[in-house]
Amino acid sequence: MHLLLQILANGVLLGGLYALMALGLALVWGVLNIVNLAHGSLIMLGAYSGYYLFTKLGIDPFVALPISMVALFCAGFLIQRNILNLIARAPMFNTLLITFGIDVVLTYLAQMFFSADFRTTNPSYAGDHFNWLGMTLPLVRVLACGIALALTVALWLFLGRTRVGRAIRATAQNLGASRLYGVEPRLIYALTFGLGAALAGAAGDLYGVVSQINPYIGATLTAKSFAIAIIGGLESPLGVVVGGMFLGIVESLTALYVGPTYVDVASFGILVLVLVFRPTGILGATT
């Protein structure tokens, strides 16, 4: 029982970070109808951003979070404005293919500039943990989970309460009508994708503290983000949190009761099952 509680706690902590990882993907998918196969690479770049800010400039990764987010926002903004906007009205397959290509380019550039070595962002308190209800909770994981959930709530408020947020949602609903309201779609698209990239950057920054990074983690993280977004449903940030928690707990349980090498089987297997039987996700509407 003790062990189960610990496993669940691990799952929840992991789940929070997972939710943040998938948030940017779900935003861009839900609003722009862009299925971004390069999403994992953006997370990877965020991780490297946090790593280098820490090792070269001594900035704590949690403090560096806004910096990483801004950096990735700019990158995402430019990608959307200069590349993706050019094919915004093309068939979906073109978007899949082009983001696939962007993913390959980003991975290569990372490997060229950062080398293929495994790295971890290691602040001094990385090994600290505290005990609660008999469970051992690593400090960095608790902080990461907390920040992840805070950012999720912030996004939800942003989309619902601010002018820009509502403009984004309006553009998602009806591209033509939004123009009539003085909203410039090209700008909105670039902003939204930039926002998605910023969230990926935040997730990456945190990921670099709790796990190892190298230029090739993008592909698996993309697949995981898809799993979370689809399992939870693309309707709202809440769905992504549910998806993240669900996957985090499933992975923790699988790692203990089946074996750590079966974790990917479980997560991607569930993704396939959800796609086949309930593509709108756990929280999605039944058509």
Partner 1 sequence: MTARSGLIAALVVAALLAFVPWLASPVLVQFGITTLLLATLAQGWNIIGGYTGYASFGNSVFYGLGSYGTAIAMVQWHLPFGIGLVFGVVLAVAFALLLGLPVLRLRGHYFAIATLALAQVMTAIVSNLPIAGRNVGLVLPLLNGDKLFYELALALLVLATLAVFWLSRSRFGFGLIAIRENEDAAASMGINTTLYKVLAFALAGIFSALAGGIHAYWITFIDPVSAFDISLNVKMIIMAVFGGPGSILGPTIGAFVLSAVSEVLSTEVSSIASLFFGAVVIVAVVFMPRGLSDLVRRIRKAGWSYFSENVKAHRL
Which residues of the shown chain bind partner 1 in the complex (CB under 8 A)? 35, 83, 85-90, 92-94, 96-98, 100-105, 107-109, 185-186, 189, 219-220, 223, 226-227, 230, 259, 261-265, 268-269, 271-272, 275-276, 279
CA distance 223 to 206: 18
Cβ atoms within 10 Å, residue 126: 14
Closest approach of partner 1 to the CB of residue 106, in Å: 8
Closest approach of partner 1 to the CB of residue 146, in Å: 29
Q: Hey, what are 108's tokens?
A: 């290569």
Nearer to partner 1, 29 or 54 (CB): 29
Nearer to partner 1, 58 or 176 (CB): 176
Which of the 8 DSSP states describes residue 138?
Answer: E
Can you name the residues that pair with 129 across neighbouring β-strands? 138
DSSP reduced 3-state for 59: coil
Query: Of the candidates 178, 56, 192, 40, which has an alpha carbon nearest to the alpha carbon of residue 104?
Result: 40
Nearer to partner 1, 145 or 247 (CB): 247
Closest approach of partner 1 to the CB of residue 213, in Å: 18
Closest approach of partner 1 to the CB of residue 257, in Å: 15
Per residue in 95-121, is it b (16+ CB within 10 Å) or e — as a string? beebbeebbeebbeebeeebeeeebeb
Nearer to partner 1, 108 or 118 (CB): 108
Amino acid identity of residue 182, one-letter, is G
N residues, the chain: 287
Nearer to partner 1, 12 or 183 (CB): 183
Closest approach of partner 1 to the CB of residue 137, in Å: 28
